[in-house]
Structure 1
């Protein structure tokens, strides 16, 4: 069993490595790449891993990269980071802001890549202190929900076998230097639907000759909001959002169709099924009531599973973090309504997985905002065009968590 003292030699070079990691992060932030187009990022990662002595397999799910370091007998441990950016125009004003119009690392995946690249280098350099097999996965396409399953389909487990545990983390706008863990469910499931409503178009002056899909869409939007308030128990949680509604081409034309995109979030499979069934019932029912010429088309366009942590593995990891960082920096994570495809790896391998959160915002600013009841207003969240993690101690903390987590599961040399 690893002790905190035993981890010190592997982490000892981190201080000297921080300037290089900072430069790597700034470069990634300046050059964001959307889901499944992460070719530059993947090439940089593959080059680093090869230099560190990893066996490298590239091209998984298009741009995914796997690094494998075999270091004698012992456990097989997988660490994962996602690489893709978002279609968001950066408004941070940073001197290292995105150079790509309309694309930004607004969710912090550039920090995730940097953390894992740094941890991989430290673990490779300190391999005399541990034994086993280390797999590092740099995953594309997390934001669109098919990156993890794509890498699994392409045989991510074929190179070094299935791991015994899968570990991952995400930056959040909490105080930098804090680490947050949670046993069981930590992040929500998400289901995205595209709905096409069919009407009968015509002139705006003669609505009686039409079936107006705009009125139908408006009725559906309002009715969907009754699902959570009237069909889900107050002791359970769900979110239903209509994030897109498009219809029509001119003020005096009644369109013949409307398109909605609906987002559903839930933490429990029973609730998830109930909400999705209610969404379909309401959409079909409102269309029938409006006299639509044919039923709506309802297409599933995205799905993320619930992110659920193995309880025993989470307890073990939390104790390791407390021993390393101290109880004052190791907190219980809140239940997060955001979603992740990280857990697909553990589910496919049939092994425990643990996903935790690392704070990346200026601690004093965050705590002041919380104290004033202004956290939501003053602290930019993930996906905001203003999302800008502080570099230090964020860089150090995320590398340390991965090294501590890996060593806590690998064998002692």
Structure 2
């Protein structure tokens, strides 16, 4: 990897100012999963303004698909996700979200703008073959890719030879990180509801406290990942929320724990899910709950797997184009539904992460950490943080250049 200060893509892209303005608009107007109506409308409008693109809206809900056919040649799919998160933005940017409690905290606004910029480049400088641009809704809930597939994506549009996708990260702009094989974890959300017996806080002996069950349960769950399912790529289990009660002097009837489970193999996933249920049952029994707890698993994501061989070829192409590529030694515990497209189509898929932060903010120590540990520094806002703020001046040139380079290479490959 070259020095971080050398990784900014300085190429002047056609329509650069337009993409900056478009990004700011999208960032100011985020929309939650499945409700990306204005984003989808804008995407369709932008695509229709480009000569040669056939545009289909409402694919899998709010999804948009654009097709550019330039005669015989390969068919490639390029994907960007569109949804935002239920996060209150705290960046204080002049173009911060105008929608209370909703924010593009994962950088999907970068993805949408970059894919539109890629489409514009491929229109202005055509290559034989067919490009299918997928603007996907509801990635954050894990429902969007499957929703588009279930809506006849493979029957309605040209079948791909390969699917390409990318995701912005809090790394120096210009840097590309990925690996062959398992890249990102499978994910399951879990809701555990404990049933107790409400009462007065002054007489806890007359009640069965579900809040106490939930609190004890959350602490004990850490043993499940650390001691009972340790593997080379260990699972991650995080408690994201605990809800119970309404007043200091009232013992509640029920409590709810929300968990996020990340795994890299079907066997470990099965053991973790069984352990989550077993420990909930044991906690309820230990405190004398009047009813068994209810354990629900929802919003599943599959493991994201980069196809060996194809991944190395795409990364070699980016390296030859003087884009710094940092191979990852370990998969990421974050999750994506991108891989469902390649699986459904029975074709290779390659996904990578691109830096979106001004390299001037990275010290030599940061760079050493990235090289030695294959990981990003921990002292800066990351995806899903209310402070996460890719710098569009460097993130968009990085994202557009990377996707254009990969797409052109795959279209011209024998």
Q: TM-score, normalised by structure 2?
A: 0.91
Q: Is the 8 A contact 2:136 2:144 kept in 1?
A: yes
SS at match of 1:225: helix
Q: Cα distance 1:371–1:311, how it changes in 2: closer, same or farther (>3 A)?
A: closer
- Aligned match of 2:29: 31
Aligned-residue Cα RMSD (Å) equals 2.2
1:138 matches 2:139: no
Say whether residues 1:263 and 2:253 are aligned partners.
no
Aligned length: 399
SS at match of 2:31: coil
Give the corresponding residue for 2:384. 383
Give, in angstroms, the shift of residue 272 of structure 1.
1.6
Deviations 1:73-101 (A, max 9, x none): 22111000001111222222222222222
SS at match of 2:99: coil
C-alpha distance after superposition, 1:128-186 (max 9, x if no partner): xx222210000111111111111111122222232121110000001111111211111
Runs of 4+ in 1 over 4 A off after TM superposition: 371-377
Q: 1:94 to 1:250 in 2, by over 3 A?
A: closer
Residue in 2 aligned with 1:47?
45
Once the two structures are TM-superposed, the CA of residue 277 in structure 1 deviates from its matched residue by 1.3
CA contact (8 A) 2:356 2:395 kept: yes
1:98 and 2:94 aligned: no
Aligned to 2:347: 351
Residue 188 of structure 1 aligns with which residue? 185
Name the CA distance, whole Å, in 2 between partners of 1:409 and 1:282: 49
Contact 1:196 1:260 in 2 (8 A): yes
Query: Which residue of structure 1 aligns with residue 360 of structure 2?
Result: 364
More deviation in 38-47 or 332-341? Answer: 332-341
Match of 2:281 in 1: 284
Q: Partner of 1:16: helix, strand, or coil?
A: coil
Listed one character per residue, the Cα deviations across residues 86-121 of structure 1 (whole Å, up to 9, x for unaligned) are 122222222222222222111111110011000011
Matched position secondary structure for 1:195: strand
Greater Cα offset, 396-405 or 162-171:
396-405
Q: Does 1:111 align with 2:110?
A: yes
Counting only pairs closer than 5 Å after superposition, residues 3-402 of structure 1 correspond to structure 2 as: 15-52=13-50, 53-127=52-126, 130-233=127-230, 235-326=232-323, 329-333=324-328, 335-368=331-364, 370=366, 376=377, 378-402=379-403
Distance 1:132 1:86 in 2: 36
State whether residues 163 and 350 of structure 2, in contact with CA within 8 Å, keep that contact through their aligned partners in structure 1: yes
Please tell me whether the aligned partners of residues 181 and 355 of structure 1 are also in contact (alpha carbons under 8 angstroms): yes
Secondary structure (helix, strand or coil) at the match of 2:96 reads coil
Please say if residues 14 and 122 of structure 1, whose CA atoms lie closer than 8 Å, have aligned partners that are also in contact: no
Q: Is the 8 A contact 1:61 1:154 kept in 2?
A: yes
After superposition, the C-alpha distances for 1:211-267 in whole angstroms (9 at most, x for unaligned) are 221121122111111012211225331111111111112222222111111111112
Residue 369 of structure 1 deviates from its aligned partner by 6.1
In structure 2, the CA distance between the partners of 1:195 and 1:141, relative to structure 1 (3 Å rule), is: same
TM superposition shift of 1:284: 1.2
User: Separation in 2 of the partners of 1:162 and 1:321?
Assistant: 25
- Offset at residue 202 of structure 1 (A): 2.2
Partner of 1:7: none
Question: 1:188–1:336: 8 Å Cα contact kept in structure 2?
Answer: yes
Residue 85 of structure 2 aligns to a residue whose secondary structure is: coil
Partner of 2:3: none
Q: What secondary structure sits across from 1:47 in the alignment?
A: helix
Cα deviation, residue 301, structure 1: 2.4
Distance 2:239 2:230 in 1: 21
Worse-superposed segment, 169-178 or 154-163: 154-163
Task: State the match for 1:4 in structure 2.
Answer: none
Q: Which runs of 5+ in 1 are unaligned?
A: 1-12
Asked whether the 8 Å contact 2:356–2:398 carries over to 1, the reply is: no
Q: How many Å separate the matches in 2 of 1:307 and 1:399? A: 22
What 5-or-longer segments of structure 2 have no aligned partner?
1-10, 371-375
Whether the aligned pair in 2 keeps the contact of 1:65 and 1:137 (CA below 8 Å) is: yes
